[in-house]
Amino acid sequence: MQEIMRELNAENIGSVKEYESLSNHTTWKIGGPADIFLEPKDTEGLQHAMKIITRAALPWRTIGRGSNLLVSDKGMEGVVIKLSKGFEGLEINEEEIKVGGGYPLIKLATIISRKGLSGLEFAGGIPGSVGGSVFMNAGAHGSDISTILKKAHILFEDGHMEWIDAKDMEFSYRTSRLQKEKAICVEAIFTLEKGDKETIVKRMQKNKDYRRESQPWAYPCCGSVFRNPLPDHAGKLIETAGLKGFQIGGAQISEMHANFIVNIGEAKAQDVIDLINHAKTTIKEKYGINLETEVEMIGRLN
């Protein structure tokens, strides 16, 4: 590992740290150390790093804003790549925008709405990055990323990059092909529509206010934990089962919204896992419904 650290540092590809705690980089504030934590300074640096990582046969994964992730208390083996400042470019050309994979989605939705461009109002209040939102086809209020994506610039594990059309991204509910392939969304191009700026801003702000008023963002959390077993809703099922406020260790099923698990004080990943399993078992026993997690569990999990 030390040899890889030296090689990555020698190539001046960005910030390289050893044993960085991932609790500093997730919205749940949970997670042990990454063997190597890499923040490439630009796309060229990322490509170069990927060749080094692949040649060394090290496991790797990317993170953006750290939402929708549960990282093991034991941390992660190999290399964790964070797309940050070097991947936050934004170009606006009429109704089409090109934006870096590390760009915060909430910030993008706010800026775009003030430009009188419609299509991203649903993202008001969604934590995470553009790359992460493409990865999981993030959505809310009846819309999602697949409705506005034109194409995504993808870096594959072998180091080559390719623009992939939206129709080839295999989008479905909270799913894309990137969840099946070892690849990174470096940039995205979205197609929006011009509209009345005041109306668009109000709609976006309404969505943002709804999230703030109905979801427990005062505590560290990851967003929704379970996928909705349509036509049912996970939060409603968990609430009806009487699990609001149920707690294991420092993790609690939110008293505000039952599809959220909040870190109310020094929660461990295992606390969250145990709480997830308890909710799954309870809902299966009461309603015969299998809940599936929306949150991605990564690292050295039991």
* Whether residue 107 sits in one domain with residue 78: no
Question: Helices (DSSP H) in the chain: which residue ranges?
Answer: 2-10, 43-55, 105-114, 130-136, 197-214, 234-240, 269-287
Predicted confidence at residue 225, as pLDDT, reads 96
CATH of the domain at 241: 3.90.78.10
CA distances from 255 to 62, 141, 247 (A): 32, 22, 10
Domain count within the chain:
3
* Whether residue 138 sits in one domain with residue 43: no
* Whether residue 74 sits in one domain with residue 101: no
The whole domain housing 246 covers 234-298
Q: Which residues have CB under 8 Å from 5's CB, separation 6+?
A: 16, 18, 36
Predicted confidence at residue 219, as pLDDT, reads 93
0.75 exceeded by pTM: yes
* Whether residue 255 sits in one domain with residue 180: no
Query: Using CA atoms, how far apart are residues 96 and 93, in angstroms rounded to an integer?
Result: 5
In a domain, 254, yes or no: yes
Q: Which residues have CB under 8 Å from 82's CB, separation 6+?
A: 25, 37, 38, 39, 62, 63, 64, 102
* Whether residue 162 sits in one domain with residue 61: no
| 36 touches 16 (CB < 8 A) | yes
DSSP 193: E
Predicted confidence at residue 302, as pLDDT, reads 55
As a 3-state breakdown, the chain gives helix, strand, coil percent values, each rounded to 5, of 35, 30, 40
Q: Which two tokens stand for residue 216?
A: 């427990």
Domain end: 82, 99, 125, which one? 82
In a domain, 242, yes or no: yes
* Whether residue 155 sits in one domain with residue 46: no
Predicted confidence at residue 1, as pLDDT, reads 78
* Whether residue 134 sits in one domain with residue 20: no
| Best CA proximity match to 119, nearest among 209, 205, 200 | 200
Domain end: 49, 82, 115, which one? 82
Catalytic residues, which ones? Answer: 174, 224, 294
In a domain, 219, yes or no: no
Type of residue at 35: D
Each of the 302 residues of the chain gets a pLDDT tens digit; together they read 788 888 888 888 999 999 999 999 999 999 999 999 999 999 999 999 999 999 999 999 998 888 889 999 999 999 999 998 899 999 999 999 999 999 999 899 999 999 999 999 998 878 889 999 999 998 888 899 999 999 999 999 888 899 999 999 999 988 899 988 889 999 999 999 999 999 999 998 888 888 888 888 889 999 899 999 989 999 999 999 999 999 999 999 999 999 999 999 999 999 999 999 999 999 999 999 999 998 989 998 65
Predicted confidence at residue 252, as pLDDT, reads 98
Domain end: 18, 53, 82, which one? 82
* Whether residue 100 sits in one domain with residue 186: yes
CATH of the domain at 68: 3.30.43.10
Paired with 189 in beta bridges are: 98, 151
